[in-house]
Structures are given as structure tokens and as C-alpha cells.
């Protein structure tokens, strides 16, 4: 599902995707991301029963004492070295591939840090994670957080990031080469007949088989629980008594999981754009679909007030704007639009949909989206929407893809059982998804089938995270967040025993560093002085 948050550019106040705020990532393109981050149980009544079970099940804290079998990992001394980025140093640590059998082999974890600049008393390390799963935390801290977080925070904290297992520099999972991913991202994600459904299923199978062939053993050990346990090794190696952490989007699930496993070691945790770990994937996917519809309606209302809106003029209702966009998507389904792409790719319905969804992550991208839609709809040039889609998939100009989409699937499909098991189950759910979003619902429903063909069985289930005994944890929710609906922040805050809910009344995905001085001051006060906000505080 689309829950990832991407790094922001280091310049300015932020922008969507290589522009000025959050680049859209948070969970991935239609084929690869929906239903991945939080895939849940199977069909029908099983979804209801899983949700009921999650209401009772809670993540159990690990023993406070470090097991003897893990002592060598906790006692590592990192060999810091320069890594080609001014001000940063890098190191590699080891963690057990399988925590149940530490002697069965290691996995290498890459980390980076930028030492606190001063003045002021050092506060230790501040780990950051931009979401995904699959987003590179190292890339994020080196390109944005380590130089773009508030100066007073960087003055007191060593800014630290570790790429989670299977991600980027930490033994990355790889599934397809560039041409293979091009074919995958262009697959029709809204099949109209049996032949197209078979093509979509074949694409999912090919993707999954590629991942299984590349790292059959690793795929069994890239869960969020294992990544959270890795963070505790990092904490110890850095010499910190408690973990201080800022996680966005999927990073909130990672941070909450850490707090649930190690409540006594949870320091100042900010969970921005929160997820609800208690819901099965189909419910999460459906609620996220509604979240994108909410964001699209905000875009639609703004679009028709602009002179260059290609989807309707002043007074056009959001419903009509959505119908016009849907009609454009359907036209692309049979007649893709040319682009300036050097590899000859045309703008297909699937690529255009991903491009539009990418722009929903940040209202700062709405102008770019209007321009891209105008070019595609009126000038027969799909280049602008292709740029948005490529940025979301992290495809570079040479046709190479980052590890983002591969890790995204690997983590999501392991964390929870698949949302749907068969195409028939998806067809049965289409009315509910279309109701949640007339524009995006059908594509997001079919994208939820991805994990059905994964080569490794899921090891996780929906569950509550209470983290009893943890210090105050700040949970941040944005009222019109497309990827992590506000209700999820309310739900997570209701589960965590020490949570303080901080609300941003606005658009876009996540809130910290997006221009609200109220949000930023509140979070900075918590990080610097340990002063959490009053539960229920609201900012705009």
C-alpha cells in the first residue's frame, strides 16, 4: 500500500519528490505498493476475525536482559570512516540474520552519522527513518535530515540512520532488472477481462519469483520486528541508554514496534504520519484508498480555482473533476500518450495513475500535477506525469531502479498475510473500493493482490502495540493525509500507553518540517527538552 514517505530535498522548506517537500514514496506504485506495507489476512470473514483477534493481541515486550547469544552483537565497536558526503561518516555492523538462531549467520547493516555540531549539551543519537518500507534512511539523513532538520536539533544530537535489513545499503533485496521493472510498472492494473487479469497475475508472479531467486534466505528475515531489534543493537553500539527516534509513515510502525519490544529503552520517539498496526491489510488498504480520495478532493477544489486546471473550471464539483480524470485514465488504457522518454516508453494508465497519486502526498506538488495533466490531456505529451511516476518508483534517467520497490514488497509481504488470495476475491471487493474512491479504488484493489504470490509465508499478524512503561511518545496525525489516514494516528495513540496525540489540520503526508511552526516548535521542544505536548494538541 502507499504508506511510505520520501526524503525531502535539503534546500528550502521541502517539496514533493525532488522538489521542495516530501518526495512521494511512502509505499510505492500501483503494482508494488498497495497492500504491501500492511498486508493482512485473507478473504471474507477471515478479515473480520483477524481484526477482532488483533483487538485482543498485543506485542509482547522482550526481556530486559540481553541474551548471552547476542552479547557479541551488542558489544561491537563500529569502525567509522568517511563516506564521500561532507560532514558524515559511515560504518557497518552485524546483526543475526535469525534472532531465533543467532549462530546461523549474520546480516550486515549500514549506518551513517553526522556528529552534533553544538553548542549545548549533547543529547546522544537521534535515529531517523523516512518510511517505506524500503526508503533508505541513510539517503534521507544525508540528503535532508542531517542538514535540513532544525539547527538546534542538529546542534544537540548526532544525526544517525541505519538502512533496515534488505534495504539500500544493508544487503538489499533485488527482484527485477531495469527493463523488467519497466514492464512491471506498465502492466495494466485495472484489468477489464480474463486476459488482462492473467497478465496482471503473471506480472505479480514474475516479480515475486525474481525476489525469491535473488535472496531466498534473506526474504524470511526482513520483518519489521527484526528491523526493530536491529535498532536496539545500533542503540547499544552508539552508547545510548535509550533510543531517540523520528519515524515517518512506515517509520512510525517501526518506531512503535521498537517501543513495544523495548519499552524501558524507548527515549524520545516521534511517530509522524502514524499507522495502525491492529488492522488487517484489506481494511488498511480500503481506508487508505479513502484517504487518497480525501486528498484528491482537496486537490480538485484547489485545481478548479486555478486558471490552468485541465479537469474543470471554476465551480466544477470534485465529483465531476474526478469523473474527468477517470475518463482520461480510461482513454490511456487503450491509447497511451507519447513521452520524451529515451527508452520509448509511453504514458500508460498505470503510470499516469501512479504519477497522480505521487502528487497527492504534498500540496506543494499540485501545480506540477496541473501542468503535467495539461500537457498529457491537451498537448498529447505524457512526459510530466511520467516524471512524477518515475520519481515515485525511484527510476533514474538511465533506466535503473533503486531497491525501494523490492524491499517494500519483501517487508510488507512478510509482516502480514496477503490481503487477497485470488482474483475472484478482488472482484468481490471492487464495489467497496470504488465507493471509497471512484478515481483510484479499482486500481488500489487490484494492487492489493500482490502478496498472494509471494514466495515466503508471512510471519506477522495484526496486533496492538501498547508499550507499557515507555516514556511519553508523540504520535502525529494530519487530518487530510492521503497515505496514513488521520484515524490511524488516533488509533495508534489509543493503543500506546504513554502516547500524546499531536494533530496537524491540513493536507499532505506527515507534518514535521512541512511549514507549520506550531508543529515544529512542539516537536522540537519534545526532542530538545523532553517536554511532550498536551495530549490532543492541534496545529494548523
> What is the per-residue pLDDT for 5?
45
Residue 508 scores a pLDDT above 60: yes
Per-residue cell: 79: 569502525
177 is catalytic: no
Q: What pLDDT digit, counting tens, does each position of 113-134 carry?
A: 999 999 999 999 999 999 999 9
Residue 86 scores a pLDDT above 90: yes
Per-residue cell: 13: 522548506
- Provide the pLDDT confidence category of residue 185 given band limits of 50, 70 and 90: very high
Q: What is the DSSP letter of 142?
A: I
Per-residue cell: 383: 512526459
Query: CA 463, 442, 201, 24 torsion: positive or negative?
Result: negative
**Is residue 4 within a helix (H) or strand (E), and if so which, with residue range?**
strand 4-8
- Provide the pLDDT confidence category of residue 56 given band limits of 50, 70 and 90: low
221 is catalytic: no
Phi, psi of 87 (to 5 degrees): 90, -10
- Provide the pLDDT confidence category of residue 54 given band limits of 50, 70 and 90: low
Report CA Rg, the chain. 22
Q: What pLDDT digit, counting tens, does each position of 428-449 carry?
A: 999 999 999 999 999 999 999 9
Whose cell is 494548523? That residue is: 540
Q: What pLDDT digit, counting tens, does each position of 472-506 carry?
A: 999 999 999 999 999 999 999 999 999 999 999 99
Q: What is the mean pLDDT of residues 351-372?
A: 97
Residue 1 scores a pLDDT above 70: no
Residue 199 scores a pLDDT above 80: yes
Catalytic-labelled residue, pool 39, 249, 389, 448: 249
232 is catalytic: no
Residue 3 scores a pLDDT above 60: no
Per-residue cell: 239: 552508547
Q: What is the mean pLDDT of residues 263-281?
A: 96
Q: What is the DSSP letter of 396?
A: -
- Cα 198 to Cα 453: distance, rounded to the nearest angstrom: 13
Average pLDDT, the chain: 90
Catalytic-labelled residue, pool 163, 481, 507, 520: 481
Residue 98, burial from CB neighbour count under 10 angstroms (0-12, 13-18, 19+): middle
Catalytic-labelled residue, pool 375, 509, 516, 520: 509
- Cα 25 to Cα 2: distance, rounded to the nearest angstrom: 7
DSSP 273-286: S---TTS-HHHHHH
Amino acid at each position: 500500500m502507499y504508506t511510505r514517505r520520501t526524503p525531502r530535498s535539503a534546500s528550502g522548506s521541502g517539496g514533493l519528490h525532488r522538489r521542495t517537500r516530501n518526495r512521494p514514496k511512502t509505499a510505492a506504485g500501483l503494482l508494488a505498493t498497495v497492500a504491501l506495507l500492511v498486508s493482512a489476512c485473507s478473504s471474507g470473514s477471515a478479515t473480520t476475525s483477524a481484526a477482532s483477534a488483533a483487538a485482543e493481541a498485543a506485542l509482547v515486550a522482550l526481556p530486559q536482559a540481553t541474551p548471552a547469544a547476542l552479547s557479541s552483537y551488542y558489544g561491537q565497536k563500529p569502525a567509522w570512516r568517511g563516506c564521500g558526503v561532507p560532514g558524515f561518516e559511515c560504518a557497518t555492523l552485524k546483526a543475526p540474520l535469525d534472532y531465533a538462531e543467532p549462530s546461523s549467520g549474520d546480516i550486515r547493516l549500514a549506518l551513517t552519522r553526522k556528529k552534533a555540531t553544538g553548542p549545548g549539551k549533547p543529547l546522544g543519537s537521534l535515529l531517523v527513518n523516512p518510511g517505506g518500507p524500503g526508503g533508505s534512511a541513510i539517503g534521507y539523513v544525508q540528503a535532508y535530515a542531517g542538514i535540513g532538520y532544525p539547527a538546534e536539533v542538529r546542534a544537540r544530537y548526532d544525526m544517525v540512520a541505519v538502512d533496515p535489513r534488505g534495504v539500500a545499503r544493508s544487503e538489499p533485496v533485488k527482484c527485477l532488472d531495469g527493463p523488467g521493472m519497466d514492464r512491471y510498472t506498465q502492466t495494466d492494473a485495472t484489468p477489464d477481462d480474463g486476459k488482462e487479469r492473467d497478465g496482471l497475475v503473471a506480472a505479480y508472479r514474475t516479480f515475486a519469483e525474481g525476489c525469491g531467486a535473488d535472496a531466498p534466505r534473506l526474504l524470511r528475515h526482513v520483518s519489521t520486528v527484526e528491523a526493530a531489534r536491529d535498532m536496539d543493537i545500533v542503540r547499544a553500539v552508539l552508547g545510548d541508554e535509550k533510543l531517540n527516534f523520528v519515524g515517518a509513515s512506515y517509520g512510525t510502525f517501526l518506531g512503535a514496534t521498537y517501543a513495544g519490544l523495548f519499552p524501558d529503552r524507548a527515549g524520545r520517539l516521534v511517530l509522524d504520519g502514524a499507522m495502525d498496526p491492529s488492522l488487517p491489510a484489506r481494511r488498511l488498504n480500503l481506508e487508505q484508498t479513502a484517504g487518497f480520495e480525501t486528498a484528491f478532493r482537496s486537490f480538485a477544489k484547489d485545481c478548479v480555482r486555478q486558471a490552468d486546471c485541465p479537469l474543470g473550471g471554476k465551480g466544477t464539483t470534485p465529483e465531476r473533476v474526478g469523473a474527468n480524470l477517470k475518463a482520461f485514465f480510461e482513454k490511456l488504457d487503450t491509447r497511451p500518450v507519447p513521452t520524451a522518454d529515451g527508452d520509448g516508453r509511453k504514458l500508460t494508465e498505470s503510470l499516469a495513475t501512479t504519477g497522480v497519486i505521487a502528487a497527492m502526498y504534498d500540496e506543494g506538488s499540485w501545480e506540477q500535477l496541473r501542468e503535467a495533466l495539461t500537457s498529457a490531456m491537451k498537448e498529447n505529451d505524457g512526459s510530466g506525469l511520467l516524471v512524477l511516476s518515475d520519481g515515485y518508483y525511484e527510476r533514474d534517467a538511465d533506466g535503473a531502479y533503486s531497491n525501494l520497490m523490492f524491499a517494500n514488497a519483501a517487508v510488507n509481504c512478510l509482516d502480514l498475510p496477503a490481503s487477497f488470495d485470488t482474483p475472484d476475491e478482488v472482484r468481490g471487493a471492487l464495489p467497496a473500493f470504488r465507493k471509497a474512491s471512484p478515481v483510484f479504488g479499482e486500481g488500489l484493489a487490484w494492487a492489493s493482490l500482490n502478496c498472494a504470490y509471494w514466495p515466503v509465508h508471512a510471519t506477522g499478524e495484526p496486533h496492538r502495540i501498547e508499550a507499557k512503561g515507555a516514556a511519553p511518545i508523540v504520535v502525529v496525525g494530519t487530518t487530510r493525509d492521503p497515505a496514513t489516514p488521520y484515524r490511524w494516528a488516533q488509533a495508534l495513540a489509543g493503543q500506546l500507553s504513554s502516547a500524546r496525540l499531536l494533530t496537524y489540520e491540513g493536507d499532505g503526508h506527515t507534518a514535521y518540517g512541512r511549514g507549520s511552526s506550531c508543529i515544529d516548535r512542539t516537536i522540537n521542544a519534545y526532542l530538545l527538552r523532553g517536554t511532550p505536548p498536551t495530549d490532543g494538541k492541534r496545529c494548523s
